[in-house]
């Protein structure tokens, strides 16, 4: 062990250190809860000084910390004495491997490097991110540190945000918009996805948009509007309202009203894009209604719970070989609810699509229901028959969405 530490110390002192990997956590460290699997160390130049970047790889997250040479030696010594059984040190002249058996026997193997090796002291790999975490609103929203680094506990949220922006961008590219695009994000919550889409569409795609986040919690609305004002973001605001009560005829900042009239409803408004992610139970239907009534060109929903149809199915007492099992009843209710939503949107002239929102490992609520307004003729009778057949098969009296739309 001391032989390995000496070689590590020499490489740090002489400047020949290339990288180091710690692996194989001991059984004791596993029992003590630490879900740390590996540590990776590499040299970096930070503020014109040579430092050493430690990447701690846990089961579900990564953490990065930077140390100077003296601290690096201390940290690696500590990690080897209490957590890891294997270490691989790479220098400009040799590779040194440390192996510790379960019984504590230590072996060090050294191999000379024949090829010419270089140090990589680049601080961060350049990532092609769809959103820029250096923008100040991400720190104010609690996603990043002041330095623009995504915090450890927000890594999964950040991945979800990027995936969401990627999907919506792909959807919007297939829709033709004229002039300013008005977007309403229903049930916007803390605003992560609302800000992400606003940033991407305005800064990367150069769209002219008006973004409205609709949220019923007044404290969140006040907080988010303060962040918008402090960040000097134009044509962007949060509105305190339930989805059902949201007024699609609200004016823009310039006082101009939208005057496009729907063919099905006498609502003089134009909402180009309606988004509702994880609006609970029938709130998703309320959002779809707003999109249909305002003749939106694009409706994007990630439905949440589906209690209304589940209750209808249970009340009817109709069961089949699938729904006799409770867990399958729940899944069937989800699929029936969203299938009828898609059919009703098709009835009102939307070409619908159902896709995966994010991977199942992040959330089971991963379905994205998309409707694009189409001029293609619609066989409404055929659609109504499909809806009636589904309802009859599972003992459903009426879907909330068809009830509200009449």
Q: Considering only CA atoms, which of 267, 217, 266, 224 is closest in space to residue 242?
A: 217
Q: Which residue has the higher pLDDT, 35 or 175?
A: 175
Query: What's the average model confidence in pLDDT over 286-310?
Result: 86
| Percentage of the chain modeled with pLDDT above 90 | 48
Confidence of residue 96 (pLDDT cuts 50, 70, 90): very high
Stated as kind and residue range, the H or E segment containing 238 is: strand 236-240
Query: What's the average model confidence in pLDDT over 296-315?
Result: 83
Between CA 304 and CA 299 the distance in angstroms is: 16
- Does the pLDDT at position 268 exceed 80? no
Question: How long a stretch of residues is the chain?
Answer: 406
Contact 353, 370 (CB under 8 A): yes
Full-model pTM? 0.63
Between CA 363 and CA 387 the distance in angstroms is: 28
Between CA 405 and CA 383 the distance in angstroms is: 15
Query: What's the average model confidence in pLDDT over 321-326?
Result: 78
243: which DSSP letter? T
Confidence of residue 370 (pLDDT cuts 50, 70, 90): very high
Q: Which residue has the higher pLDDT, 313 or 235?
A: 235
Between CA 61 and CA 112 the distance in angstroms is: 35
Boundaries of every domain in the chain: 2-112, 136-405
- Does the pLDDT at position 290 exceed 80? yes
Between CA 343 and CA 194 the distance in angstroms is: 27
Between CA 103 and CA 119 the distance in angstroms is: 35
Please report the pLDDT score of residue 266 as a whole number. Answer: 39
Half-sphere exposure at residue 157, Cβ-oriented, CA atoms within 13 angstroms: 16
Question: What digits encode the pLDDT tens for the residues 203-220?
Answer: 988 899 999 999 999 999
148: which DSSP letter? S
> Which backbone phi and psi does 227 adopt, to 5 degrees?
-65, -40
Q: Is CATH 2.60.40.10 correct for 136-405?
A: no
Confidence of residue 170 (pLDDT cuts 50, 70, 90): confident
Query: What's the average model confidence in pLDDT over 223-238?
Result: 95
Query: What's the average model confidence in pLDDT over 183-208?
Result: 93
Query: What's the average model confidence in pLDDT over 255-280?
Result: 57
| Percentage of the chain modeled with pLDDT above 70 | 88
Question: What digits encode the pLDDT tens for the residues 76-91?
Answer: 999 998 889 999 999 9
Q: Kindly state the tokens that stand for 243.
A: 């989805």
């Amino acid at each position: 062990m001391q032989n390995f530490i000496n070689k590590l110390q020499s490489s740090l002192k002489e400047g020949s250190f290339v990288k180091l990997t710690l692996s194989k956590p001991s059984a004791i460290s596993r029992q003590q809860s630490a879900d740390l699997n590996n540590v990776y160390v590499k040299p970096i130049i930070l503020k014109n000084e040579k430092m050493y970047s430690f990447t701690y790889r846990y089961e579900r997250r990564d953490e990065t910390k930077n140390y100077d040479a003296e601290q690096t030696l201390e940290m690696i010594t500590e990690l080897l004495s209490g957590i890891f059984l294997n270490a691989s040190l790479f220098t400009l002249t040799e590779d040194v491997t440390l192996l510790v058996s379960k019984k504590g026997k230590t072996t060090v193997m050294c191999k000379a490097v024949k090829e010419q090796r270089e140090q990589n002291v680049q601080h961060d790999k350049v990532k092609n991110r769809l959103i820029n975490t250096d923008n100040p609103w991400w720190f104010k929203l609690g996603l990043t540190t002041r330095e623009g680094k995504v915090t450890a506990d927000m890594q999964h949220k950040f991945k979800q945000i990027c995936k969401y922006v990627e999907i919506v961008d792909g959807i919007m590219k297939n829709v033709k918009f004229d002039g300013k695009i008005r977007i309403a994000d229903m049930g916007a919550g803390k605003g992560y996805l609302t800000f992400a889409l606003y940033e991407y569409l305005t800064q990367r795609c150069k769209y002219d948009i008006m973004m409205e986040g609709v949220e019923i919690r007044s404290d969140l609305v006040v907080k988010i509007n303060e962040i918008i004002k402090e960040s000097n973001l134009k044509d962007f605001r949060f509105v305190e309202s339930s989805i059902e009560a949201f007024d699609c005829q609200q004016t823009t900042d310039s006082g101009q009203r939208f005057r496009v009239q729907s063919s099905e409803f006498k609502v003089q408004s134009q909402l180009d894009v309606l988004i509702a992610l994880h609006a609970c139970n029938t709130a998703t239907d309320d959002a779809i209604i707003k999109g249909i009534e305002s003749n939106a060109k694009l409706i994007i929903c990630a439905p949440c719970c589906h209690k209304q149809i589940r209750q209808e199915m249970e009340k009817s007492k109709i069961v089949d070989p699938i729904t006799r099992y409770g867990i399958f009843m729940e899944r069937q209710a989800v699929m029936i609810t969203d299938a009828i939503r898609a059919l009703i949107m098709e009835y009102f002239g939307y070409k619908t699509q159902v896709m995966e929102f994010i991977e199942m490992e992040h959330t089971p609520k991963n379905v994205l229901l998309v409707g694009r307004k189409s001029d293609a003729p619609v066989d409404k009778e055929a659609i109504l028959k499909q809806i009636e057949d589904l309802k009859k098969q599972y003992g459903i009296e009426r879907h909330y969405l068809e009830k509200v739309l009449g």
